[in-house]
Structure 1
Amino acid sequence: MGYAEVRFPENTLFLVTGGAGFIGSNLCEVILKLGYKVRCLDDLSTGKQANVDLFKDNPNYMFVKGDIKDFDTCMNACKGVDFVLNQAAWGSVPRSIEMPLFYCANNITGTLNMLEAAGQNGIKKFVYASSSSVYGDEPNLPKTEGREGNLLSPYALTKRADEEWAKQYTRHYGLDTYGLRYFNVFGRRQDPNGVYAAVIPKFIKQLLAGETPIINGDGKQSRDFTYIENVIEANLKACLAPHEAAGNAFNIAYGGREYLIDIYYGLTKSLGVNVEPKFGPDRAGDIKHSNADISKAKRLLGYNPDWSFERGIAAAIEWYKKNL
């Protein structure tokens, strides 16, 4: 189950862009534990130096400080690499509405730079982070690939554009690309700080500090919260996927559906606190409900997530208790 059975040739080198971030640093950690080599590329604009320093004494790890908006940096980073795991991007729907030009430059042009550099360097597989936000206002549940609605934010637009560019690189330039539509990933090292912080680490930190969290909207919105281990599995299995699956995007989730208000009260119970939340306005660009049909990823990637929300949230709570 998971990625324990995944095997690559000895001395396989992975390039993880955005490797100082939440998802990227976890990918670096697991790849190194499996005995392979990692080159991490990050400009530390949203990633953390502390996440880079975790592996600095590992001889199989190399950190390159650089920006994917610079094509020469991307070319140099791809030299000698077998697989690219492209996680570098700026997240946050609300922030993208405030900064559309930057999101275009970073998330679209940056990814295009990486696709071109990977193609020129003969990379075996190019696996990249997409997002469930590409479903936009499509109302049906579960979310199914090929049934997308109107995009609701510049962030969602950047991820959809990345998918379309990746298809072109598979079609015209012989680069096997695999898009992973992440659904609300959470887990160790996810940053709880800042106005754009993800909801689970933010709630945990606030409750541990005796603060009163604010829930945007009525708390009845639902999400397919996905533990980090499942996302790591998807990235590694995409690197072993057949050529026939290339050029596609895949839902990466557990396939569950959790309501925000239930998560909130579950956290208060687990943390042994009794704090009623405050309720604020809905966030611009947010969708009300989201959960994933993961049958395509199971069929074409061999994705078989074994970390349920309950198992994942318990592990996350323990991590934050020790590390906040």
Structure 2
Amino acid sequence: MKYDEIKKELLVNPKTWLVSGVAGFIGSNLAEELLKLNQKVVGLDNFETGHKYNLEHVKNSVSKNQWNNFTFIEGDIRNYETCNEVTKNIDVILHQAALGSVPRSIDNPVNTNASNVSGFLNMLTAAKDNGVKRFVYASSSSVYGDSAELPKVEARTGNLLSPYAVTKYVNELYMGVFYKCYNFESIGLRYFNVFGKRQDPNGAYAAVMPKWISQMINGEDVFINGDGETSRDFTYIDNVVQANILAGTTTNSQAFAKAYNTAASGRETLNNLFSAIKNGLEEKLPNLKIKDAIYRDFRAGDIRHSNANIDQAKQLLGYEPTHNLEEGLKESLSWYINDIKGNKLNDKCK
């Protein structure tokens, strides 16, 4: 497996990585894996959507010596001076800082654009000017818009459906321009419904997986948007971590200035997801009483079906997902029951 080879190489020849959005769900998982590989990691976050307790979880998951390789800087990518400072003496950037969520972007497109386009350009420019060797960033499956084609292939997209999708598509355009104008090596990863440990279940824009898990554990109502037959390619966090590190280290020149589907290449409806979470929790917490789902209107800006073709990532990056939905969900449920926010959530079920 290519990823195993890369991890061995990194242990022998460590690099210095910058993870923006490091206190977020994906960023903190990236930092944890890199520190466990004895890499030097600089983390940047403004805590607008990230949390300090995520960094505490990382600290508790690595050795003292590994944690000493971590440097945290509180700052905002919307400030160019901050971006210029943090990108000095960096080998690889894993840019995760952004304002996620389609509904959030519909509610406030100006803020979303400021972080996801202006902030992105600040980081990209600073990285180029400071001689960073590789820039890997989070794109999104939302760029496929209203395309009905399944599975989704990188070269074919539809009409965009939200301001968030626009920002991620603009990121990809900038990536191509910077490669043509400056020969700057960057790679985009189109995430498909990522889930796993440390994903925040709270807030108006929480992702469906952690939100439902938390609501079921706490005996709250669970809402399904539309008829529940909307489908997604749910992707466990370990697959995303792998894709980032592969993209950050690849020596394949054909891989640059491209966006890659980052997924498990599966597809599940919301109705089936609800049942899978419910059954998984009831198996782990036999006394738990879970309410039936409540259906409501479809959500504005949502794609109806999503399923990724990952051939390009396999061929050019060596990507091989290790977890399907069932495997990832099993690990996620254990984490949420035992660890989220340091609380024993199963105590609430007694």
- Is the TM-score greater than 0.5? yes
Picking from 84, 90, 93, the partner of 1:84 is 93
Structure 1 residue aligned with 2:269: 259
Structure 1 residue aligned with 2:291: 275
Contact 1:18 1:42 in 2 (8 A): yes
Counterpart CA distance in 1 for 2:278 and 2:328 is 16
Counterpart CA distance in 2 for 1:65 and 1:52 is 12
Picking from 275, 283, 289, the partner of 2:305 is 289
Shift in Å, 1:274: 4.2
Structure 2 residue aligned with 1:112: 121
Give 1:91-106 correspondences, 5 Å limit: 91-106=100-115
Deviates more, 1:235-244 or 1:62-71: 235-244
Shift in Å, 1:317: 0.4
Picking from 61, 69, 73, the partner of 2:78 is 69
Structure (1 or 2) with the greater helix fraction: 2
Contact 1:81 1:123 in 2 (8 A): yes
Counterpart CA distance in 2 for 1:182 and 1:207 is 26
The alignment partner of 1:38 has SS state of strand
Alignment partner of 1:167 is 2:176: yes
Picking from 49, 52, 75, the partner of 1:46 is 49
How many residue pairs end up in the alignment? 324
Shift in Å, 1:307: 0.8
Alignment partner of 1:224 is 2:233: yes
Counterpart CA distance in 2 for 1:128 and 1:200 is 23
Give 1:189-228 correspondences, 5 Å limit: 189-228=198-237
Counterpart CA distance in 1 for 2:191 and 2:261 is 6
- Deviation string, structure 1 residues 239-293 (Cα, Å, up to 9, x no partner): 1222221110000000000111001011111111442100111110001100000
The alignment partner of 1:35 has SS state of coil
Counterpart CA distance in 2 for 1:266 and 1:295 is 27
Contact 2:267 2:307 in 1 (8 A): yes
Contact 1:224 1:290 in 2 (8 A): yes
The alignment partner of 2:187 has SS state of strand
Alignment partner of 1:121 is 2:124: no
Structure 2 residue aligned with 1:238: 247
Contact 2:219 2:290 in 1 (8 A): no
AA matched with 1:65: E
Structure 1 residue aligned with 2:343: none
Structure 2 residue aligned with 1:4: 4
Counterpart CA distance in 2 for 1:50 and 1:267 is 25
Shift in Å, 1:55: 4.6
Alignment partner of 1:134 is 2:143: yes
Unaligned stretches of 5+ residues in structure 2:
283-288, 341-350
The alignment partner of 2:93 has SS state of strand
Counterpart CA distance in 1 for 2:4 and 2:54 is 23
Deviates more, 1:39-48 or 1:240-249: 240-249
AA matched with 1:43: N
Counterpart CA distance in 1 for 2:110 and 2:158 is 23
Structure 2 residue aligned with 1:316: 332
Shift in Å, 1:51: 1.5
The alignment partner of 2:254 has SS state of helix
Counterpart CA distance in 2 for 1:137 and 1:55 is 38
The alignment partner of 1:239 has SS state of helix
Counterpart CA distance in 2 for 1:291 and 1:209 is 31
Contact 1:2 1:230 in 2 (8 A): no
The alignment partner of 1:193 has SS state of coil
- Deviation string, structure 1 residues 26-64 (Cα, Å, up to 9, x no partner): 000000001111000111110001122345661100000
The alignment partner of 2:94 has SS state of strand
AA matched with 1:312: G
Shift in Å, 1:13: 0.4
% of aligned pairs identical? 49
Shift in Å, 1:10: 3.1
AA matched with 1:271: L
Counterpart CA distance in 2 for 1:74 and 1:219 is 42
Alignment partner of 1:146 is 2:149: no
